[in-house]
Structures are given as structure tokens and as C-alpha cells.
């Protein structure tokens, strides 16, 4: 009782409530005095009964003002409609006056009929699900109706018991992934998984901006698939991904945005011990994709032949006279050399190659039997840290590209021979970065950082097989991936979006970061964002320096609408930095519904699994139902009225006169 009284008097009351309490206390005192004055001849029991009824009415009114709560160990269950429609079943649940709430941004999608009483939803809407914790700090059980909440929303909830049933799945693509920013000549590779409960065969189609089908594939529910296209023009393009059911009716249409930039051509130096089909095909690829390539082939002792692709004649005349020196290496972004030729290099050539790598040059060593047969003492210093595991028998595998953007992507179904089984790190400190793996997870191409540059080893042989089998796209994808990861990085400043998915939704927070170069005189403190969709949405984004990465500054942006946006910076005139604006696309909240549902289901199930306690012992305060006090007031007031009407002396005198 003490705790209950304390909970009553500590409830936050306003002026009107305090005035009401004073008035009903005064009314109680006056009523008690009036009973003794009006009924002096009545028995003590009679007057005591009237005082008791007045006291009951007083307590009922006081309770309605104070809204008392009681302490209980019983679980208090709240139902939350996340994004479920108010169908007939749920409507009965709502009408039964259960404890429920609806997320505001889903209220318009609930299909609530105008004929339904609006009081059912009064004070039941939430701007964010986290507001439940403000209303019920001791909430210990939650019933989720709908898709659920996102991982970000669940982070604000404590460990609670969750009652959740997986809703009907939306047909569409989950876990979509593609690179939204690529260079001209690079392929657009999309992969995802089809979500459906049907056993029918579906068809996925990728359409270019002109509406032409560039890739298609038959699918079954739950199947992971990949579609590839190669943009032919620079600029911002919108591809369309369609999923058709067995009746060729579209069940899902999503936009794939891609920004194709015209970056400078890759500059590649190939040094080989003898002619090979591998480098011949690499030359053909460079010619088709605009890369600059110089091929140096050893034809006799101390003599190399030179062949160039996409290199201007005046420049070729200069570099043709250069030997394997730092002057030559600095003209290129990537050096590709076979193991035998690397072992043939002189001490001076190796030293100058190492100096160029420290300044940012990338080196890719094509492992061969000569390199495998070399003892540890004879291994060049550049390859310290790499350990090659020999093969027991000839092996061919399907290579998988490993990247942050696409995770693991298989290169069609073509098998490629290996020179060794796998690569591992031979050093206790530091680790190798995997660029290509086998299906078993063995590293086939690995790289390590060396100052500003990178050194990599490849176990792949005869990658030209992809071309001869008609898989030119996969061949191009493989070498573009290797060149991008290993070649010299442009040291200019860069804007990028810090996100683990290739798209962002409208009106959601998006982190945009700026990385400045070492030559930048003054840091950039703000970026300018503008919509290109005809909507007045221009904002200035203030940046804050990352406490761990001093060369990076980030800020947050909320878009007003979907469409293309451009990010640019305002720099002082004396800033020597070169800068490229960034274009990105914001999708509507109604896009990728299957993926959104999948993400919420996984997050909600994970939160549900976190609850390990069988019972909840923690007590909590629960609001007392008001109907109890209303009934107390009605019954006590009715009995007092009846007493005055029929049992008082005045009533007896009235009936006596009437009968006379």
C-alpha cells in the first residue's frame, strides 16, 4: 500500500488536477457534516453507511484523476503493428481494446476504412518504435504484427521476450548487390537471391536504359543468380531488373542505378620470359578497353622485344630505349611479370622495382614452376610473406572474385588450371588480402601492401580459356578486378558514400565522406548536395574529421525525394587538388520491398533468439483499468441518490402527505 500511495502522489499533476483534488476533499468533508446534521435521529450504522458511500465516491473520483498504477511480476504485453495491414483478423484484435500501437509511417498503408470508429487509433500511433520505451520503461514482452523492425531499431530495445510470426513473404529480390560506380569498359555485375514461396519457374531480365534486354535467366525460389551488362557510354544510367512469373507477368521491377565515369586508362607493363597466349589475350583486352600496355618479351640473353598497345608513338620512342629501371616503372601503374622472368632480373633491377613499389606501383607476379622450384633463400625479397602450397596432382577450379562490393562472385562455370593449390601468409604479423578464391575458400590470388604500393601473386593459368569458350565478359571482369585492386592508386581527393549496400532510400540517413590527399593545402569542411530531379533539394553538408582516420571527414544527409543527386565541394582558389564530383541515386521507399521485408525478418528473428531467460522476475508498474473506478463511482452515486429519494425523512414525509 505504501508503494502504491507513493506512486500516486509522485505522479506528475497539473494545476487543474490539484484544484480538482482540493474540491473533492472539500466536498467529502461537507457531505459528512451534512449527514450528521440531516440525520441526527438515525442509527450510527445508517449514518456510517452513508459516509462509506461518500468515501467510495471520493476515492473513485480521486483515482480517475491520479491514474493509479500497481506493481506486478506479470508480463505486460504490448502489440506493435509495424507494417501490417489492418485486415479483418487484426481489426477484431484492435476492436477488443487490446494494448496495441501502430508505426505512423505505416498508418496510411493500413487501409483503415472511414466508417470505422477513429477512437480505436487515438493515441496509438508512434513516430518511431522506440517511443514504446518512453511510454513503458519496464516493457518486458512485445508482440510484433507485420514484417518486424530493422536491426538499427532493435538496437535501442533491451532484452525482451518477443512474440513474432513470420508474415507472408513478398515476391522479389533479396540481398541485391552491384557496383553503383564503375569505369568505362568495366562490367555491371548484379547478383541477388529470389524470394518466393512458389515452386514455379521465374525469369529474371536486365534491361538497359533504352529498354533492351541485355541479360536474362530462369530462376527458382531461393536461387542465387547473376546478370551482367557492359555500359558503352559514360554518365548516369538507370537499368531495370524485372522478375516475371511463369505466366510472364512482372512480379517485381527495380531500378539499378550506375554511374559510369571516364577514368584515365590503365597503364600496364608486362614483362615475360617468353611469348605466351596469356599475354597475347591480355593485349587484345587492352586494345578493346583503351588500356595502355607495353609488352617486354625476352627473346635472347640480354635482349627484349617491345610491343605496345594504345601508347602514342612519341611516348613509345622514349620508353622503348629504357631498360628495367625506376624511370620505366614510374611510367606505369601496374607491372605484370612471370615467375621465371622475376628470377632472371638483376639485383639492380629488383632494387629499382622495389623503390617504385614503395612509391605506389603495383606488381602482379604470375607464379610458375620455376618460382615453385626456387628455395626460400633464392625467393626475391619482394615476395616475403607469401607461401605457396604445391599441388599433389593437376587441378582445375572455378575461380571466385572476392571484393568488398560483390563479396564472392563466381566466374561463370569454366574451369581454370592452377600452378599451386593455394597461397597463405608465411609471416606471423600482417595478413594477405584475398582477391580470388576457389569454391573451397583457398586463396588463388593474394596481395600485400608495401608502403604506398602493392605486391600480388596469382596461381591462375590460362585465363584466356574464358575468351576461347565465349566468356569474354567474365575474362574482362577478372582482369578489371585485379588491375583495380593492385594497380597504383590515384592520390587525389575523393568523395564516397559510406554504405554497405549499392542504394539508399529517400528520407533516410546517409553518411557521406570526403578523403583528402596528402598534397591538399586546406581541408574541406563542407560539401554541396543538389537534386537533379527537378526538386528543390539543395543542402550544405558540414563535415567532421574522423577521430581515427585524420584524412577523412564525414557528414550525414537526408534526401527529400528519390532521384539523382550530385555532390561537389567549394575549395579555395589556391588549393592544388584535382577533384571529381560524385553522382548517386536515391530510390523510393516503395522499392526493394522484398529486400526490406527480408532484412526486418532477419533482424527480428535475431532479436527474438537473443532472449534466453525462461521467466522474467523483474517487477514493473502497470496502469489500473479505469472501469473499476467508474463502476465504483456509478454504484456509490446511485445508492446515495436512492437514499435521498426513497429513505430520507423528507421522502417519507412526501409519501405520507401524498397518501393523505
3-state secondary structure 7-51: HHHCCCCCHHHHHHHHHHHHHHHHHHHHHHHHCCCCCHHHHHHHH
- Looking at the chain, the whole-number percentage of residues with pLDDT higher than 70 is 80
Please state, in angstroms and rounded to a whole number, the distance separating the CA atoms of residues 157 and 149. Answer: 11
533-557 per-position pLDDT tens digit? 766 677 888 888 877 777 788 889 8
Please state, in angstroms and rounded to a whole number, the distance separating the CA atoms of residues 265 and 539. Answer: 34
pLDDT value of residue 528: 84
Please state, in angstroms and rounded to a whole number, the distance separating the CA atoms of residues 420 and 387. Answer: 10
* Range from 5-19, 130-144, 293-307 that averages highest in pLDDT: 293-307
Average pLDDT over residues 450-473: 86
Please state, in angstroms and rounded to a whole number, the distance separating the CA atoms of residues 619 and 71. Answer: 6
Look at strands 504-505 and 494-497 and give their pairing. Answer: unpaired
Any idea how long the chain is?
Answer: 660
Please state, in angstroms and rounded to a whole number, the distance separating the CA atoms of residues 73 and 241. Answer: 53
Given a cut of 50, whether residue 309 has pLDDT beyond it is yes
Given a cut of 60, whether residue 617 has pLDDT beyond it is no
Please state, in angstroms and rounded to a whole number, the distance separating the CA atoms of residues 460 and 368. Answer: 9
225-276 per-position pLDDT tens digit? 989 898 888 889 999 999 999 899 999 999 999 988 876 678 899 999 888 8
pLDDT value of residue 171: 92
For the record, the C-alpha cell of 604 comes out as 527480428
Distances in Å between the alpha carbon of 183 and those of 37, 266, 584?
99, 11, 14
191-237 per-position pLDDT tens digit? 899 999 888 999 999 999 999 999 999 999 999 998 989 888 888 99
pLDDT value of residue 493: 60
Across 387-391, 412-416, 500-504, least confident range: 412-416
Which string of b and e fits 129-154 if b means at least 16 CB within 10 Å? beebeeebeebbebbbbbbbbbeebb
Estimate to the nearest angstrom the gap between the alpha carbon of 486 and the chain centroid. 27
pLDDT value of residue 363: 93
pLDDT value of residue 423: 82
Across 68-77, 554-563, 627-636, least confident range: 68-77
Which string of b and e fits 88-122 if b means at least 16 CB within 10 Å? eebbebbeeeeebbbbeebeeebebeeeeeeeebe
List phi, psi (to 5°) of 407: 55, -115
Q: Of 454, 456, 474, nearest to 464 (Cα)? A: 474
pLDDT value of residue 212: 93
Please state, in angstroms and rounded to a whole number, the distance separating the CA atoms of residues 425 and 409. Answer: 23
Given a cut of 70, whether residue 648 has pLDDT beyond it is no
Mean pLDDT of the chain: 79
> Which residues lie below 8 Å from residue 386, measured CB to CB, with a gap of 6+?
423, 425, 426, 432, 446, 448, 457
Degrees to nearest 5, angle at CA 300 with 296 and 301:
100
Look at strands 407-410 and 400-403 and give their pairing. Answer: antiparallel
CB 342 within 8 A of CB 380: yes
Kind and range of the H or E run holding 597: helix 593-610
CB 466 within 8 A of CB 279: no
Given a cut of 80, whether residue 415 has pLDDT beyond it is yes
pLDDT value of residue 305: 86
Given a cut of 90, whether residue 172 has pLDDT beyond it is yes
Q: Is 200 helix (H, G, I), strand (E, B) or coil?
A: coil
pLDDT value of residue 10: 44
2-56 per-position pLDDT tens digit? 444 445 444 456 788 788 888 888 888 888 888 888 877 778 888 888 888 888 8
Across 172-181, 560-569, 640-649, least confident range: 640-649
pLDDT value of residue 103: 64
Given a cut of 60, whether residue 574 has pLDDT beyond it is no
pLDDT, greater one: 39 or 658: 39
pLDDT value of residue 298: 86
60-115 per-position pLDDT tens digit? 888 888 877 766 655 567 788 786 444 544 554 444 445 666 665 544 444 443 43
Given a cut of 90, whether residue 422 has pLDDT beyond it is no
Look at strands 141-145 and 77-81 and give their pairing. Answer: parallel
CB 136 within 8 A of CB 158: no
Please state, in angstroms and rounded to a whole number, the distance separating the CA atoms of residues 168 and 268. Answer: 53
Sign of CA dihedral 585, 589, 594, 596: positive
* DSSP letters for 514-540: EE--TT-SS---EEEEEESSSS--EEE
pLDDT, greater one: 389 or 96: 389
335-373 per-position pLDDT tens digit? 999 988 888 888 898 888 988 888 889 999 998 888 888
Distances in Å between the alpha carbon of 614 and those of 77, 161, 164, 166, 611?
16, 9, 17, 22, 8
* Range from 156-165, 448-457, 549-558, 597-606 that averages highest in pLDDT: 597-606
List phi, psi (to 5°) of 572: -60, 155
* Range from 223-232, 376-385, 468-477 that averages highest in pLDDT: 223-232
Amino acid at each position: 500500500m505504501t508503494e502504491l500511495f507513493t506512486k500516486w502522489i509522485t505522479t506528475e499533476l497539473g494545476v487543474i488536477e490539484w484544484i480538482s483534488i482540493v474540491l473533492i476533499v472539500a466536498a467529502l468533508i461537507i457531505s459528512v457534516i451534512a449527514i450528521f446534521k440531516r440525520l441526527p435521529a438515525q442509527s450510527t450504522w445508517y449514518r456510517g453507511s452513508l459516509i462509506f458511500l461518500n468515501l467510495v465516491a471520493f476515492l473513485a473520483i480521486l483515482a480517475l484523476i491520479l491514474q493509479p498504477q500497481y506493481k506486478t511480476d506479470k508480463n505486460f504485453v504490448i502489440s506493435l503493428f509495424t507494417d501490417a495491414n489492418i485486415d479483418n483478423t487484426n481489426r477484431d484484435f484492435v476492436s477488443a481494446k487490446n494494448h496495441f500501437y501502430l508505426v505512423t509511417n505505416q498508418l496510411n498503408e493500413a487501409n483503415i476504412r472511414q466508417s470505422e470508429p477513429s477512437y480505436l487509433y487515438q493515441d496509438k500511433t508512434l513516430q518511431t518504435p522506440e517511443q514504446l520505451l518512453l511510454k513503458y520503461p519496464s516493457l518486458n514482452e512485445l508482440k510484433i504484427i507485420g514484417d518486424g523492425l530493422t536491426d538499427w531499431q532493435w538496437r535501442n530495445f533491451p532484452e525482451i521476450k518477443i512474440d513474432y510470426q513470420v508474415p507472408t513473404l513478398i515476391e522479389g529480390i533479396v540481398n541485391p548487390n552491384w557496383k553503383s560506380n564503375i569505369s568505362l569498359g568495366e562490367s555491371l555485375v548484379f547478383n541477388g537471391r529470389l524470394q518466393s514461396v512458389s515452386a514455379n519457374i521465374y525469369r529474371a531480365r536486365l534491361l538497359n536504359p533504352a529498354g533492351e534486354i541485355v541479360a536474362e535467366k530462369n530462376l527458382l525460389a531461393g536461387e542465387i543468380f547473376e546478370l551482367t551488362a557492359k555500359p558503352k557510354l559514360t554518365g548516369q544510367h538507370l537499368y531495370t531488373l524485372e522478375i516475371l512469373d511463369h505466366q510472364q507477368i512482372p512480379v517485381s521491377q527495380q531500378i539499378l542505378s550506375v554511374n559510369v565515369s571516364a577514368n584515365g586508362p590503365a597503364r600496364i607493363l608486362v614483362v615475360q620470359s617468353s611469348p605466351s597466349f596469356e599475354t597475347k589475350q591480355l593485349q587484345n583486352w587492352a586494345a578493346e578497353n583503351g588500356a595502355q600496355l607495353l609488352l617486354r618479351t625476352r627473346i635472347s640473353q640480354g635482349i627484349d622485344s617491345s610491343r605496345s598497345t594504345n601508347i602514342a608513338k612519341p611516348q613509345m620512342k622514349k620508353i622503348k630505349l629504357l631498360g628495367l629501371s625506376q624511370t620505366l616503372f614510374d611510367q606505369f601503374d601496374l607491372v605484370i611479370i612471370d615467375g621465371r622472368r622475376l628470377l632472371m632480373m638483376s639485383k639492380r633491377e629488383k632494387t629499382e622495382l622495389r623503390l617504385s613499389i614503395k612509391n605506389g606501383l603495383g606488381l602482379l607476379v604470375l607464379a610458375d614452376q620455376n618460382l615453385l622450384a626456387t628455395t626460400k633463400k633464392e625467393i626475391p625479397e619482394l615476395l616475403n610473406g607469401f607461401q605457396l602450397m604445391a599441388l599433389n596432382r593437376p587441378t582445375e577450379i572455378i575461380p571466385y572474385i572476392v571484393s568488398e562490393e560483390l563479396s564472392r562472385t563466381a566466374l561463370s562455370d569454366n574451369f581454370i588450371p592452377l600452378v599451386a593449390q593455394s597461397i597463405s601468409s608465411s609471416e606471423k604479423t600482417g595478413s594477405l588480402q584475398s582477391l580470388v578464391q576457389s569454391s573451397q575458400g583457398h586463396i588463388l590470388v593474394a596481395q600485400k601492401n608495401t608502403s604506398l604500393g602493392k605486391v600480388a601473386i596469382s596461381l591462375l593459368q590460362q585465363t584466356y580459356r574464358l575468351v576461347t569458350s565465349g566468356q569474354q565478359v567474365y575474362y574482362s571482369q577478372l582482369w578489371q578486378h585485379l588491375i583495380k585492386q593492385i594497380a597504383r592508386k590515384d592520390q587525389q581527393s575523393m568523395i564516397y558514400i559510406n554504405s554497405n549496400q549499392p542504394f539508399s532510400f529517400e528520407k533516410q540517413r546517409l553518411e557521406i565522406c570526403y578523403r583528402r590527399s596528402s598534397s591538399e593545402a586546406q581541408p574541406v569542411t563542407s560539401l554541396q548536395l543538389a537534386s537533379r530531379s527537378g526538386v528543390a533539394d539543395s543542402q550544405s553538408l558540414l563535415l567532421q574529421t574522423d577521430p581515427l582516420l585524420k584524412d577523412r571527414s564525414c557528414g550525414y544527409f537526408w534526401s527529400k525525394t528519390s532521384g539523382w543527386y550530385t555532390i561537389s565541394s567549394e575549395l579555395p582558389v589556391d588549393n592544388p587538388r584535382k577533384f571529381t564530383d560524385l553522382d548517386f541515386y536515391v530510390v523510393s521507399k516503395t522499392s526493394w520491398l522484398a529486400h526490406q521485408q527480408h532484412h526486418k525478418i532477419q533482424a527480428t528473428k535475431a532479436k527474438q533468439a537473443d532472449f534466453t531467460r525462461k521467466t522474467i522476475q523483474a517487477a514493473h508498474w502497470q496502469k489500473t483499468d479505469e472501469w473499476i473506478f467508474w463502476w465504483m463511482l456509478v454504484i456509490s452515486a446511485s445508492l446515495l441518490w436512492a437514499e435521498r429519494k426513497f429513505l430520507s425523512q423528507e421522502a417519507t414525509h412526501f409519501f405520507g402527505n401524498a397518501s393523505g
